Structure 1
Amino acid sequence: MSPPGREVEYTESDVIEVFKDRDDYAEPLTASEVAELLGCSRRTALNKLHDLQESTDLTSKKVGGRSRVWWIPVRMD
Structure 2
Amino acid sequence: MAEPGRETEFTESEVIDVFKTREDYAEPLTATEIADRLDCSRRTALNKLHALQEDTDITSKKVGGRSRVWWIPVPVDQ
Using structure 1 for the length normalisation, give the TM-score. Answer: 0.89
Question: What is the distance in 2 between the residues matched to 1:7 and 1:70?
Answer: 22
Look up the equivalent residue of 1:23 and give its one-letter code. Answer: E
Which residue matches 1:29?
29
Bigger-Rg structure (1/2): 1
Unaligned runs of 5+ in 1: none
Alignment of 1:1-77 (within 5 A): 6=6, 8-77=8-77
Judge conservation of contact 2:7–2:41 (CA < 8 Å) in 1: no
Question: What is the distance in 2 between the residues matched to 1:16 and 1:43?
Answer: 17
Q: Percent identity?
A: 78
Secondary structure of the corresponding residue to residue 47 of structure 2: helix
Alpha-carbon offset, residue 6 of structure 1: 4.1
Alpha-carbon offset, residue 8 of structure 1: 2.4
Question: What is the distance in 2 between the residues matched to 1:71 and 1:7?
Answer: 24
In the superposition, relative to structure 1, how do residues 29 and 6 fare at CA in structure 2: closer, same or farther (>3 Å)? same
Look up the equivalent residue of 1:42 and give its one-letter code. Answer: R
